[in-house]
Structure 1
């Protein structure tokens, strides 16, 4: 299918906030199944694990190793996929990685022991590493500065809501003998469907289109090498955001939620899995509200609004996590409501932090930026948290682990985000000035 080359509509060359890329919401919707299946890889594993460990005789620490392996693979492969996207095109990379992931996930269903499962899951993670950094780069090209929060919010909210409906279904299937194998096959079929949808329906936007940057003013996609990484870290805001993501303890909550409720408070796996529904709804509402708030606050307070919202999200999550994990409420209904509240506050983050990073990086550097932020920083943090929680959970219990990671660390995270008030305004001005300079130089007589 030929790529769409329609030019975005602009009122001025320098003002990216008024840019509208044709059919941007339809193009984004086509990518939603890819995000859904990428995100479902680890969440479905967590849901199936109670059944898997009975079949294969695994410990709680094994889940941490599996999840950490997935993230470590992402640290290596995410930047490689972004590099390939710069050379071969983002559409080809999304299709190829989706097919790879589907085949490897289907193979997981045939695993006969822990080593086989670990190796096959690692192979599936190679494909899963491509989606997020590439799609975030696309979002920045589809949407302007005043609508990126809503775009990220609706995308992640819709995907999470769909995932929350799939998870209980797979949990029930996992309750049957060998049900976890069927769960992997269902997920593989969804992954293949997402790849085919991207192949036949996705239309690629031009690089920098969301900023009103003329296509001829965009340099070729840089190689993801030390020079490119060094250019990214010259932005103080980007550097602080990478450190902030390394301290994002809430990445751990979804992985161990079901096992935590089973081991700490004695619920059955099927009962504990019920928290997935309110968690999915909470995250959906959080991402949508976060995206809308981000855009509105940004328009009213363009230099400090996003940073203040980001801080608030961390503090509110810490409070909800303490109530949801440190008190024995006795009723799964209460736990479900509190886990839904935790998910809501966690969901505020994507609609705030993704547009924040887009605002301080040049269009040609956004793919590498999200490779570093998501595939490296977030993945490394997730790997450390998963390994640590799995190992420490066997020794001191998941409740103590959750206290330190979901409450205490997240309070510190919110305080740390305050440093962004000192760097964000100047970094945004630098990017906008560079974009305006490029367009002016190109159109000057």
Structure 2
């Protein structure tokens, strides 16, 4: 594999290529962001209102770990399946069904009469959400070129988090309604179905490779002919060193736990009411939103200043920052929820940097047809296993040693280890981005020289 000398920038697109500018991309981005928002809101509803579910169904804290773990484990199988289905049919049809109309299972979950029923319906619901991560992220890569992907990803994930943060305290107010968690599932499930219909009517798939400068001026049939996904190509993902390091790093991402157990932590460890504890979801979401914008801008700036080291350094710094904020925000007792809100905002900001940096990095080291499978590995499998493992382990460990100790080891110590581990990414990342650019250049040359 070719190595770059010093800090040289990867070679640019082929000479004579057309600047990539997908028509109507901002409108499509808004529609995809809305899909992620509804999916994210319904997926987080159970964790936010678990104290009510705990009381309503008579379960222990470990049940939250089981719910979260089951919803993530099913994604390990469902994510790759939806990617395969999108290759065989269309990305639009999969998004309409899996991330839209699938909301009927949320409605069913609201009618659960015991924990077993809730577990079954919630797990089926999560199987549909598993399509959103890899497919929507892949489409964003086809809507925006490499120079603007960081900002696009940051805007989507940031806006989703910000609106979710605003909705968070409102979800907490359902604690004052009899069986409020059921009404939450019914309401979000309904919106999910409506959004599926909106996707059916207004979503327009730009096609794979539409935003690549080397391929932008080629027709879709030509792009597809030279970028078909095969089993050999799919298995070649395992040979991309940068991707393997990013995947292992995702397995070490202990900060995922704060989303699942943050509210419960403040209730059980620091004695706040569910309604008051839920207030921290707002500053967390605002912080996450600002972090995604900061991460997108920092990633684009760092890539221009130092293609070899820039994005990796930003990603690494985000892990260390989270560990510091988590230490001071979870290992000390403060009487005011405002203090916790401040630290949750800082944790949200440092966590929000991640998707704006790591998603464009995955896009940079994979050709268009491999991005959905890559994100299936990275999000649907690696992130799901990590989230399931931490949530399941934390749920039972919390019953034994308390959430305070769990948060120390997972949110602080493990995140420091993760930051150190990312040092391994410096060498292979630049070489892998060069390889992709050369492959796209070769495809363009082949498409222009082959007889029609």
The two structures have a TM-score, normalised by structure 2, of 0.93
The one-character-per-residue Cα deviations of 1:274-305 (angstroms, maximum 9, x if unpaired) are 00110110001001111111112212222210
Match of 2:132 in 1: 131
Q: Which sits farther off after the overlay, 11-20 or 356-365?
A: 11-20
Q: Is the 8 A contact 2:101 2:192 kept in 1?
A: no
Match of 1:113 in 2: 114
Match of residue 235, structure 2, among 222, 230, 234 = 230
Match of 1:68 in 2: 69
1:419 counterpart SS class: helix
Match of 2:103 in 1: 102
Task: Structure 1: state its 5+ residue gaps.
Answer: 1-10
Aligned length: 433
Equivalents in 1 of 2:223, 2:207: separation in Å? Answer: 11
Residue 423 (structure 2) pairs with residue 422 (structure 1): no
1:253 counterpart SS class: helix
The one-character-per-residue Cα deviations of 1:345-388 (angstroms, maximum 9, x if unpaired) are 00000000000010000111111100111000000100000000
Change (3 A) 1:169 1:17: farther
1:21 counterpart SS class: coil
Change (3 A) 1:296 1:54: same
Equivalents in 1 of 2:390, 2:378: separation in Å? Answer: 16
Equivalents in 1 of 2:443, 2:93: separation in Å? Answer: 29
Equivalents in 2 of 1:296, 1:50: separation in Å? Answer: 43
Match of 1:55 in 2: 56
Change (3 A) 1:13 1:75: same
Match of 1:4 in 2: none
Equivalents in 2 of 1:193, 1:162: separation in Å? Answer: 18
Match of residue 284, structure 1, among 284, 289, 314 = 289
Equivalents in 2 of 1:372, 1:268: separation in Å? Answer: 38
Equivalents in 1 of 2:108, 2:339: separation in Å? Answer: 38
Q: How big is the alpha-carbon RMSD for the aligned residues of Structure 1 and Structure 2?
A: 1.6
Q: CA deviation at 1:174?
A: 3.0
The one-character-per-residue Cα deviations of 1:198-220 (angstroms, maximum 9, x if unpaired) are 11111111211121223414435
Residue 452 (structure 2) pairs with residue 439 (structure 1): no
Residue 322 (structure 2) pairs with residue 321 (structure 1): no
Equivalents in 1 of 2:53, 2:396: separation in Å? Answer: 18
The one-character-per-residue Cα deviations of 1:173-226 (angstroms, maximum 9, x if unpaired) are 232211111010111022112212211111111211121223414435425x5x
Equivalents in 2 of 1:299, 1:197: separation in Å? Answer: 38
The aligned runs of 1:17-96 (5 Å cut-off) are 18-96=19-97
Equivalents in 1 of 2:18, 2:257: separation in Å? Answer: 35
Change (3 A) 1:217 1:260: same
Q: Is the 8 A contact 2:175 2:274 kept in 1?
A: no
Residue 207 (structure 2) pairs with residue 206 (structure 1): yes
Match of 1:242 in 2: 247
The one-character-per-residue Cα deviations of 1:4-31 (angstroms, maximum 9, x if unpaired) are xxxxxxx964588942222211211111
Q: CA deviation at 1:421?
A: 0.5
The aligned runs of 1:340-379 (5 Å cut-off) are 340-379=345-384
Match of 2:194 in 1: 193
Match of 1:157 in 2: 158
The two structures have a TM-score, normalised by structure 1, of 0.94
Q: CA deviation at 1:41?
A: 2.9
The one-character-per-residue Cα deviations of 1:65-86 (angstroms, maximum 9, x if unpaired) are 0000000011110000010011
Residue 267 (structure 2) pairs with residue 266 (structure 1): no
Equivalents in 1 of 2:251, 2:178: separation in Å? Answer: 39
Match of residue 254, structure 1, among 251, 259, 275 = 259
Residue 385 (structure 2) pairs with residue 380 (structure 1): yes
Change (3 A) 1:16 1:198: farther
> What stretches of structure 1 move > 3 A for 4+ residues in a row?
11-18, 217-221
Equivalents in 2 of 1:252, 1:14: separation in Å? Answer: 47
Q: Is the 8 A contact 1:16 1:211 kept in 2?
A: no
Q: Is the 8 A contact 1:275 1:339 kept in 2?
A: yes
Task: Structure 2: state its 5+ residue gaps.
Answer: 1-11
